[in-house]
């Protein structure tokens, strides 16, 4: 990704910070015109975050730390990282209102160029970041991830799904124009994930990822660092090998527990 595009994306998120959360109720740049779907899948993701995140946690590219209220209680320490100071202001305010300020630290950094030193985490939450990385950035980032997760540390990805409903308003990947409430426009890079893309991510990481949720709008996939060379386990909660395909205009699937 060229530097100008990267600068445009960084600036877009800085300027979007105060209204960023509207995406989670299907507002702002939401690309599937069904706010109810966003709200209900946010509930699903929140429960997954609650179930899987704990210990010494890094929320990488945390934005406003929207997910913090769902993981804070189970974390002894929270590190919030984002390139945007404006996002971190919102994120720290959220930590304070969740009663977690004394267990939270924050850093303003570009994750692709940050030196984590000896820091290692029990859990790394990567929410809606992978979809903004070009293939080269994704390769760099997977190396970063592997180096900062403790052995047997958890990694949880949350991100956006590609399906027929999305295809009505978006390309699967490439440049998008994003408009702020005041009309200013920015270019960003964005891609959407199929289940095959999650499998490719799993291979790139060398970590078996389990699909916790693959919905109409969002997906969640988790893995444990250091387990990549084990044979893939069969999911215990799926009833057969045929995916439960949703309505053809949605392409949605809800078969949690699929291993990649
Ligand atoms: C789509 S938002 C997601 C925010 C948050 N994780 C969430 O789930 O709501 C993407 C965030 O990634 C941050 N970001 C993008 N590239 C980054 C990078 N290279 N280093 C650090 N932060 C980055 C942006 O500033 C923005 O806050």
Q: What is the pLDDT of residues 143-184, one digit of tens each?
A: 999 999 999 999 999 999 999 999 999 999 999 999 999 999
| Cα–Cα distance for residue pair 167/163, rounded to 1 Å | 6
Compute the distance from residue 80 Cα to the ligand 1 centre, in Å: 11
Rg (C-alpha) for the chain, rounded Å, is 17
* Average pLDDT score, the chain: 89
Residue 30: its pLDDT value, please?
Answer: 87
Q: What is the pLDDT of residues 27-39, one digit of tens each?
A: 988 889 999 999 9
Q: What is the pLDDT of residues 222-260, one digit of tens each?
A: 999 985 444 334 333 333 232 322 333 333 444 457 776
Ligand 1 contacts CB of residue 171 (under 6 A):
no
Mean pLDDT, rounded, for 89-96: 98
The atom of ligand 1 lying closest to the CA of 13 is 25
Tell me the three state secondary structure of residue 161: strand
Q: What is the pLDDT of residues 97-151, one digit of tens each?
A: 999 999 999 999 999 999 999 999 999 999 999 999 999 999 999 999 999 999 9
Ligand 1 contacts CB of residue 108 (under 6 A):
no
Residue nearest to atom 4 of ligand 1 (CA): 63
Ligand 1 contacts CB of residue 63 (under 6 A):
yes
> For residues 203 and 28, is the Cβ–Cβ distance under 8 A?
no
Ligand 1 contacts CB of residue 49 (under 6 A):
no
Q: What is the pLDDT of residues 70-80, one digit of tens each?
A: 999 999 999 99
Residue 55: its pLDDT value, please?
Answer: 98
**Sign for the pseudo-dihedral over CA of 214, 110, 138, 151:** negative
Mean pLDDT, rounded, for 193-220: 97
Residue 258: its pLDDT value, please?
Answer: 72
Residue 259: its pLDDT value, please?
Answer: 74
Residue 231: its pLDDT value, please?
Answer: 37
Ligand 1 contacts CB of residue 80 (under 6 A):
no
Residue 227: its pLDDT value, please?
Answer: 53
Ligand 1 contacts CB of residue 128 (under 6 A):
yes
pLDDT of 63 higher than 60:
yes
Residue nearest to atom 26 of ligand 1 (CA): 63
The atom of ligand 1 lying closest to the CA of 23 is 9
| 12, 16, 61, 80: residue to mutate for ligand 1 pocket, most atoms within 8 A of CB | 61
Domains of the chain as residue ranges with CATH:
3-259 (3.40.50.150)
Ligand 1 contacts CB of residue 13 (under 6 A):
yes
Ligand 1 contacts CB of residue 132 (under 6 A):
yes
Compute the distance from residue 134 Cα to the ligand 1 centre, in Å: 14
| 16, 17, 63, 91: residue to mutate for ligand 1 pocket, most atoms within 8 A of CB | 63
Ligand 1 contacts CB of residue 61 (under 6 A):
yes
In sequence order, the β-bridge partners of residue 186 are 178
The atom of ligand 1 lying closest to the CA of 125 is 6
CA 184 to chain CA centroid, nearest Å: 25
Cβ neighbours for 148, distance < 8 A, ≥ 6 positions apart = 58, 116, 119, 120, 121, 124
Give which of 198, 210, 197 is closest to 237, Cα–Cα. 210
């Amino acid at each position: 990704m060229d530097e100008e595009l990267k600068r445009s994306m960084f600036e877009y998120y800085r300027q979007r910070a105060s209204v960023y959360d509207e995406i989670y109720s299907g507002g702002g740049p939401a690309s599937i015109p069904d706010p109810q779907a966003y709200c209900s899948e946010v509930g699903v993701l929140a429960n997954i975050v609650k179930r899987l995140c704990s210990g010494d946690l890094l929320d990488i590219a945390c934005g406003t730390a929207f997910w913090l209220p769902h993981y804070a209680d189970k974390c002894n320490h929270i590190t919030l990282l984002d390139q945007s100071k404006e996002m971190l202001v919102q994120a720290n305010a959220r930590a304070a209102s969740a009663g977690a300020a004394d267990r939270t630290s924050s850093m303003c950094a570009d994750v692709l160029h940050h030196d984590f030193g000896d820091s290692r985490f029990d859990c790394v939450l990567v929410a809606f970041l992978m979809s903004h990385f070009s293939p080269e950035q994704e390769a760099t980032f997977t190396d970063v991830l592997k180096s900062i997760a403790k052995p047997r540390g958890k990694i949880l990805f949350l991100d956006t799904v590609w399906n027929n409903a999305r295809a009505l308003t978006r390309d699967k990947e490439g440049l998008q124009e994003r408009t702020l409430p005041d009309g200013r426009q920015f270019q960003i890079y964005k891609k959407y994930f199929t289940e095959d893309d999650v499998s490719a991510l799993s291979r790139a990481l060398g970590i078996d990822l389990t699909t916790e949720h693959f919905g109409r709008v969002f997906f969640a996939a988790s893995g444990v660092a250091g387990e990549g060379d084990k044979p893939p386990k069969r999911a215990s909660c799926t009833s057969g090998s045929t995916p439960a395909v949703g309505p053809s205009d949605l392409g949605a699937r809800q078969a949690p527990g699929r291993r990649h």
